[in-house]
Structure 1
């Protein structure tokens, strides 16, 4: 049997595609079946099929962003660590410097274009059906009170500022995760800059200490972002050690057992309900175990379990050449290549296009029932969702076809334009080395 002599990193792109797909599935369920966040509809009800452990994971939310954070750490560390371990530390430092420069425009430019598109649709009243629908999630996640350009242009500017300063984006609320992902990339760059001269074991020790420090903190989202960024660096660093790969490849049977165990256990742990964990025995059992692992006072218990579960699952994938090969096939790679475009566009496509397929094109079914005594506020009667199963069977697949077609076009044209613009900025702002000044070709 052939052994791996070099770390496979292409699987990361395939996993990124799964993460973006799960984010979309999550939002579909959040819009129309929020009960999936609980282990059953109420304390005494029997669980639905999609509420059962293992099956519930893609539908209940949370894990997609956690996966994105891990992959950010892994990808940002690949090249500088490889250069440093080959003895070319100056090249690693140059990579860190240029990567730190490229990261903001490569995130901000596409996100701003997506924001402008959502803003444009808002001016046309395209979110009004979603705003009047019977989906609570739709109603709270679309822009309302659209005014004239004298108010909407300043509002657009404020929302752009808010997207990159921690405030909510009223036109496209899915962009909330981009700022933590940008900040996390710089956490990785600073970490690698500070440890690039260290021995492998000392750098690994430093990363583990930082991981535990963030894990013990009770600030929001530390398990979702900072811990995942660091865990990505840790696995990338260990996986690039030839001795470790040789050891793993020489114990195939034990590796397969470990992979299976880690993925099954991690999948189960990550299924911890987002709501009402006390309604099922299996989630109560997880909570009791979590009391020994999760620091007291952690603000979001479900996200802590998601982080533990994903770290176990990705360790299993990382150990398995077979799973890495699956995630490296053409389909997963294509989905992964378009993952950022899917993340940026799916919210607008859902709330403008899919909403009309489910609710129709008119807002007339919406009305406000005035109080009989003339006192108090009227009772809103929202547009009811279609009860025809054929409508749903046609609408959801149509949405995915349209979404991934638009994402492919976005990646091909808009994202490539943003990449060219970033390269132009880099050429303008960076000093060229002597070979580049004299037009000498350099080897990668």
Structure 2
């Protein structure tokens, strides 16, 4: 940590890792769902990627948890910095304008991505995925595509559903955007309510709220609300010069603590999503969880993901070396395109990569009817995935190259357009402050 100001650029790099892990997770969902379990069956030998530590990127869950934490951290940086410098009016202005910008900056690009997926659905681009042997593909692509008379109202209904807690048929990966938007406003309200508080009292308030959400057994509280608050807590702590000086004055202890946190956190976050009773290590974690997780909690795997991630990110936050690593050009570039990757990868995966793995024709799909009525059920023969390892070795890297190139174009053009549109809305709807009025007069 810098003695003058905490390093915050690492957040962008970690965001890039989160988006990459989300994509990898969906690849595994499509073609190797067994990685969600600690082994294929109760008596089987674990696969290499089912083992602790190695399984984390592939088994899902942690990417969205990371996004939630980063939302809390990023939303708190500027207003807390202004408040601690004594400029409370500027902090309140930042909160007000940030709250205004957040919805269009999320909703506009997400709607464009959904509309593009809708266009692909109209020309049958999801048909190969729909008829493939991948169960996840079949349940996550739009089906029963009709004429424009039914599809345009369906598009409108899906837009409404996506931002009111329902499912998005054209791009189901957007399910997390509404909780992330709501979480941003949780942070804005929290900071508005505590901006006049002393540092320790604000920290105490955030910790009490964190524990309150943690003790609630409603779904996703550990994934969203707890992570939003933990992001604010670490941001607030990291911006305290006295705390940074204390940490920097004990380098050996700091390295010991951060290494322990990262190792134990990585291990905890590996808790299997399914069949954790099949392995000794996951049964041991479950036993520990009885002391950490409130009784009646609806999702043990997500609770362990939250515990593990909070330990990991605390270790990163304490490590100047890791912060510098995540601040390098490669991680920063990936992080800058992370939102675009999140929005576009589903369509690229189900339209482009599906054809590289299954081919372009739907003819291999056929239904075998029973010999006579009442003599059994029809047998569905889905399009089989390629059995040629070379096809996979070529298709997966090609997918990532194409995906990140599309994401770069999206960030450069679509996202910048949405930013300009948001700025125009802000100029239209907000009163200009005195500096802006004088600046405008001077330019005139």
TM-score by length of 2: 0.98
Match of 1:143 in 2: 142
Quote the RMSD (CA, aligned, Å).
Answer: 1.1
Determine helix, strand or coil for the equivalent of 2:380. strand
Q: What does 1:129-278 correspond to in 2, within 5 Å? A: 129-278=128-277
Aligned length: 441
**Equivalent-residue separation in structure 1 for 2:137 and 2:59 (angstroms):** 17
**Equivalent-residue separation in structure 2 for 1:410 and 1:83 (angstroms):** 32
Match of 2:403 in 1: 403
Determine helix, strand or coil for the equivalent of 2:114. helix
1:359-400 Cα deviation digits (max 9, x unpaired): 000000000111122236422110000000000000000000
Match of 1:348 in 2: 347
**Equivalent-residue separation in structure 1 for 2:126 and 2:41 (angstroms):** 32
Determine helix, strand or coil for the equivalent of 1:380. strand
Unmatched 5+ residue regions in structure 2? none
* Closer, same or farther: CA 281–6 of 1 in aligned 2, 3 Å: same
**Equivalent-residue separation in structure 2 for 1:20 and 1:347 (angstroms):** 12
Match of 1:55 in 2: 54
Match of 2:413 in 1: 413
The answer to whether residue 7 in structure 2 is matched with residue 8 in structure 1 is yes
Unmatched 5+ residue regions in structure 1? none
TM-score by length of 1: 0.98
Task: State the 1:438 CA deviation.
Answer: 1.6
* Closer, same or farther: CA 410–321 of 1 in aligned 2, 3 Å: same
The answer to whether the 8 A contact 1:271-1:306 is kept is: yes
**Equivalent-residue separation in structure 2 for 1:7 and 1:428 (angstroms):** 35
**Equivalent-residue separation in structure 2 for 1:126 and 1:377 (angstroms):** 29
Q: What does 1:60-79 correspond to in 2, within 5 Å? A: 60-79=59-78
Task: State the 1:440 CA deviation.
Answer: 6.9
1:84-134 Cα deviation digits (max 9, x unpaired): 000000000000000000000000000000000000000000000000000
1:32-91 Cα deviation digits (max 9, x unpaired): 000000000000000000000000000000000000000000000000000000000000
Determine helix, strand or coil for the equivalent of 2:423. helix
**Equivalent-residue separation in structure 1 for 2:63 and 2:108 (angstroms):** 22
The answer to whether the 8 A contact 2:62-2:305 is kept is: yes
The answer to whether residue 390 in structure 2 is matched with residue 390 in structure 1 is yes
Moved over 3 A (4+): none
**Equivalent-residue separation in structure 1 for 2:389 and 2:3 (angstroms):** 49
**Equivalent-residue separation in structure 1 for 2:381 and 2:301 (angstroms):** 33
Task: State the 1:435 CA deviation.
Answer: 1.6
**Equivalent-residue separation in structure 2 for 1:435 and 1:92 (angstroms):** 16
* Closer, same or farther: CA 87–131 of 1 in aligned 2, 3 Å: same
The answer to whether the 8 A contact 2:3-2:241 is kept is: no
**Equivalent-residue separation in structure 1 for 2:441 and 2:261 (angstroms):** 46
Determine helix, strand or coil for the equivalent of 1:423. helix
Match of 1:380 in 2: 380
1:393-438 Cα deviation digits (max 9, x unpaired): 0000000000000000000000000000000000000000112112
